[in-house]
Amino acid sequence: MEKLGDIGEHEAIRRLVAGLGSHADLAVGAGDDCAVCRLPGTGLDQVFTTDPIIENIHFQPLEKPERIGNKAAGRVLSDLAAMGARPQWLLVNVVAPPEQDFQTLEKIYAGMNALCHRFGAMIIGGDLAQGPCLELHVFGTGTLPAGSALLRSGAMPGDGIFVTGPLGCSREGKHLDFVPRVEEGIFLRESGLVNAMMDISDGLATDLPHILKRSGTGAVLDAESVPRNGTLEQALFDGEDFELLFTVPAEKQEALGKLWRKRFGTELPRIGTVAPAGEGLRLRMPDGQLLPLEKKAYEHFRQG
C-alpha cells in the first residue's frame, strides 16, 4: 500500500483531483491558484481557495499571534490576488489542543481581521475542533468580471516574465509580515496586458514550472535580473515570498511598465522570457551560459 511519504504532495493532489468531475458553472477547477465558478445573470465570476497554516510547520509557537493571523489570512488573500480577484468572504476553522491559551487566539483573529479590513474582506464564520497542535484552516472567496480571471495557462513563447517584488529570505520575517498583492493583482487584471499569473509560495524555481506546464511552454530566467533579498539561491528556492509572478507579451511590456510606474511609483522587474515547449526551465548566468534549473523547494510528505 502506498504512503503519502512515497508519493509526495503534488502527485497526491494530482491523483485526488483527477476524478472530481465537472459542472456547467465551473469555469476553472483544481490546478490553479483558485477555482472559478460562474454566477449566471450577474456578469461576475466567483473564485474559491483554501489554505492551512500549522504550528511548527508554517509558524513557531512563540511567534507574535497577530503575525500568525496575518499569515493565515494573507495566504488566502494572495491566492485571490493571483487571479486578479477582489476579496470577499473568509471562513476560518481552528484546530487546537485543550491547553491552548484563548487570549492568543483572540490576538490571532485580530491579525486576520486587520488584514481582511485592509482589502475589503470579512471573516464570516468557521469552526473549532480539538487537535494535537494549533492549526488554522482558512477558506476564502472573491469576485471578478466574468471570464477575466488570470490563469496559469496563458503564457506564450516570447512573453516577458515579471515579478512584483524581491524574492528570498522570507524566513527572516516576511513569511509572517507580508502584504498580499491584492491591489497589484486587480491592477494587472484590469490592465488587460497580462497573459498568465500566479503567486510565489513555494519558490520561484518551483512555482514558475506550474505556469510552464499549464501553458505548454519553457522559460529562460536571467540570473542578474531576479530581484532578491539575499543570494540568488535564496531568491530561487526559499519560497513564501507571496509576490505575483506573471507573463506579458513583448509588445505590451512598455505600456504596462508605464502604467505600473504611474500607479505604484516603482519599476516592474522583468526576470526572463517564456520559451517554446520542450526547452524546460533554464537559468542564464552572467557569462551567458544556460543552466537547467531544477526545483528543490519544500514539499509536504517529502522529507528527504
Residue range 254-270, pLDDT digits in tens: 999 999 999 999 999 99
Partners of residue 95 on adjacent β-strands? 129, 135
pTM: 0.93
The mean per-residue pLDDT over the stretch 14-34 comes to 86
Three-state DSSP class for residue 164: coil
pLDDT at residue 295, rounded to an integer: 63
- State which amino acid sits at residue 47: V
The dihedral built from the CA positions of residue 225, 228, 233 and 238, taken in this order, carries a sign that is negative
196-216 burial string, b = 16+ CB within 10 Å, else e?
bbbbbbbbbbbbbbbbbebbe
Q: Does domain 152-292 have CATH number 3.90.650.10?
A: yes
CATH topology assigned to domain 4-145: 60s Ribosomal Protein L30; Chain: A; (3.30.1330)
Please count the other Cβ atoms lying within 10 Å of the Cβ belonging to residue 112: 26
pLDDT at residue 127, rounded to an integer: 98
Nearest to 277 by CA among 153, 150, 151, 149: 153
pLDDT at residue 32, rounded to an integer: 87
pLDDT at residue 294, rounded to an integer: 79
- State which amino acid sits at residue 93: N
Distance CA 107, CA 117 (A): 15
Write down the domain spans for the chain: 4-145, 152-292
Which residue is listed with cell 522583468?
Answer: 270
Does residue 88 or residue 21 have the better pLDDT?
88
